[in-house]
């Protein structure tokens, strides 16, 4: 097992020993670890406190950038849809993971698998109701302001 994955798994093990979930992540650029994270749901009561999210936040803050293209995420478990979406937004093009979403599901960590399945459905069939409410003609649309600014 490669050094970065070993570290991600080590972080996950430490997190379990401290009462957390078995997820650790390491963000790497040019052969160097730039940030790490573990799930902090049990400490912070923050559903976005996933290992990958924390590693991304730390790197973005440290380097004052939203662009993490050229970085590789190493994760002890296959990223959930939220973490994967964050990686898309940050420009991360490579993710290396150890345990699959199916393995996590079998271990009793069911949310990621269920969300992936739900997202594969048509909007009308998903668990969360999505209702579009367009702005009225009298309201300024934020996207129009954005276009003018860009």
pLDDT tens, residue by residue, 83-114: 999 999 999 999 999 999 999 999 999 899 99
CATH class name, domain 3-124: alpha beta
Q: Strand, helix or coil at 77?
A: strand
> Residue 28: is its pLDDT beyond 80?
yes
In 1-99, alpha helices (H): 3-17, 41-44, 51-63, 81-90
Whole-number Å distance between alpha carbons of 68 and 60: 8
**In the beta sheet, which residues pair with residue 95?**
73
Q: What are phi and psi of 47, to 5 degrees?
A: -65, -20
Q: What is the average pLDDT score of the chain?
A: 95
Q: Strand, helix or coil at 94?
A: strand
Indicate the pTM of the whole model.
Answer: 0.91
**Catalytic residue (one of 52, 102, 125, 138):** 52
106 is catalytic: no
């Amino acid at each position: 097992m490669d050094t970065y994955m070993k570290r991600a798994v080590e972080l996950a093990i430490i997190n379990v020993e401290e009462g957390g979930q078995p997820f650790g992540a390491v963000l790497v650029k040019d052969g160097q670890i730039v940030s790490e994270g573990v799930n902090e749901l049990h400490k912070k009561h923050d559903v976005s406190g996933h290992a990958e999210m924390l590693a991304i936040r730390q790197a973005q803050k440290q380097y004052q950038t939203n662009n993490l293209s050229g970085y590789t995420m190493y994760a002890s478990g296959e990223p959930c849809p939220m973490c994967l979406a964050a990686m898309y937004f940050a420009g991360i093009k490579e993710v290396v993971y150890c345990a699959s979403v199916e393995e996590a599901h079998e271990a009793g960590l069911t949310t990621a698998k269920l969300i992936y399945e739900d997202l594969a459905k048509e909007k009308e069939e998903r668990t969360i109701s999505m209702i579009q409410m367009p702005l009225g003609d009298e309201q300024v649309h934020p996207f129009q302001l954005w276009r003018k600014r860009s």
